[in-house]
Amino acid sequence: MDPVETAGQLIRALRGSRSQRAFARRIGYRGNPIANWEAGRRAPTADAVLEAAGRVGIDVPAALARFHPTAAPAYGAGGPAGVAAWLDALRGQLSRAEVARSAGLSRFAVTRWLNGSTRPRLPDFLVLVDALTGRLPDLVAELVDIDAVPALSGRYRRARASRRLAFELPWTEAVVRVLEASGPLDRDAIAAALGLAGPEVDACLAGLAEAGLVRRRGDGWRAVGELTVDTRDAPEAMVDLKAHWASLGVQRARALRPGDLVSYNVISVSRADLARIRQLHVDYFMAVRAIVAESEPEVAALVNVQLIGFDPVGQVRQHEVGTGASARTAQKTRKTQKNAEEGWRRE
């Protein structure tokens, strides 16, 4: 993605059928900066563009809520402070250094944008949103007609096709990961790697090929597109996907292969310690994602992580969930967990 080109197309889409001068007047400019914005010679700040979107009738808070319901309230009344708070909410548990590295941007610039001391220009804002979520086309599609932003429209459609495949044929994700790691494979090799029947692999390959994500070359299949599986806008489908992969964990627990690791720990702890364990669970998940993002594929695997409570009183009190442990406590917890796992592990 060329962020300058994408920014220009987004502004042009916001302008719609208006002339550049009419659009400039509509959003509060006496001059006409629009030509320079659309051509990429200059760039407005992200908060100015979102304010412009509101002035032409787009409900920006609603668009942000559809895109990322959890972070949306941080936007508040908008403006520079709202943009900074929203970006920081998107960041979640990631450090600012990790965000900057993922975005390929200066750590000092990212820090200033997230704390609101400076205002990101639109191209940098787009890069940052993509680094934080991997779903920039979805955000743009909530604001304008995605077809008016050709720099993102193809990626948007591929992502939608990927999600549809994930709902209908959950094994498609594993097929793509195996092909990414192993290079060209025929149908039988894929079936053997995943423990699937041939017809099931055929169905996955057909769907992936139609979505432009795999291609047959000679006697083997190759992954040729990026499979994006993000179901935050479809929570019921996400439940089904989690159940699918959890059920695979059950199957493999009964017939382990070399390299498989299946562990469990039935515990009784204080509510405060359960909250710390819950945070370790989240931290582990994010650490795995960070490793995957920087790794070169050589092998495919499934990482299943569950934390299941047996609370006779009810759910863990909300104010306790997400409580972080100190570095010393976390280190002690890791050591305790390691010792416990060695005693309770079932392989």
The parts of the chain modelled with pLDDT lower than 70 are 226-235, 313-347
In whole angstroms, give the CA distance from residue 18 to residue 6: 19
Q: Position of tokens 């916001």?
A: 14
Of 11, 16, 52, the closest CA to residue 151 belongs to 11
Helix, strand or coil for residue 45? strand
DSSP class of 40: T
> What are the CA-CA distances from residue 100 to residues 91, 96, 114, 136 (Å)?
11, 6, 11, 16
* Residues contacting residue 261 through CB under 8 Å, at least 6 positions apart: 347
The region, left, alpha or beta by phi > 0 then psi within -120 to 50, assigned to residue 212 is left
3-state secondary structure of 195: coil
pLDDT at 231: 55
**Contact in structure between 46 and 83 (CB atoms under 8 Å):** yes
Q: Considering only CA atoms, which of 26, 91, 81 is closest in space to residue 58?
A: 26
Q: So what's the pLDDT on residue 232?
A: 57
Query: What Å distances lie between residue 317 and 69, 111, 193, 325, 332, CA to CA?
Result: 22, 33, 43, 17, 24
Q: Which ranges in 56-95 belong to alpha helices (H)? A: 60-67, 79-91
User: What φ, ψ does residue 302 adopt, rounded to 5°?
Assistant: -110, 130
pLDDT of residue 344: 36
Backbone torsion region of residue 218, taken as left when φ is above 0, otherwise alpha when ψ lies between -120 and 50, otherwise beta: left
Tens-place pLDDT, residues 116-125: 999 999 999 9
Are 344 and 263 contacting, i.e. CB atoms less than 8 angstroms apart? yes
* Number of C-beta neighbours around residue 37 at 10 A: 26
Where do we find the tokens 């032409």? 56
For the chain, domains (ranges, CATH) are 3-145 (no CATH), 153-223 (1.10.10.10), 256-344 (no CATH)
Give the C-alpha separation, 138 to 160, whole Å: 9
Structure tokens at 160: 């939608």
Q: What DSSP string runs through 92-106?
A: TT--HHHHHHHHTS-
Instruction: With H, G, I as helix, E, B as strand and everything else as coil, classify residue 116.
Output: coil
pLDDT attached to residue 229: 62
Tokens of 35: 């030509």
Q: Which of 303, 269, 261, 258 lies closest to 285 in space, CA to CA?
A: 303
**Gap between the Cα atoms of 89 and 83, Å rounded:** 10
pLDDT digits (tens, 9 = 90+) for 135-180: 899 999 999 999 999 999 988 887 777 777 878 888 988 999 999 9
User: The whole model's pTM is what?
Assistant: 0.63
Contact between residue 153 and residue 191 where contact means Cβ atoms under 8 Å apart? no
| pLDDT for position 30 | 84
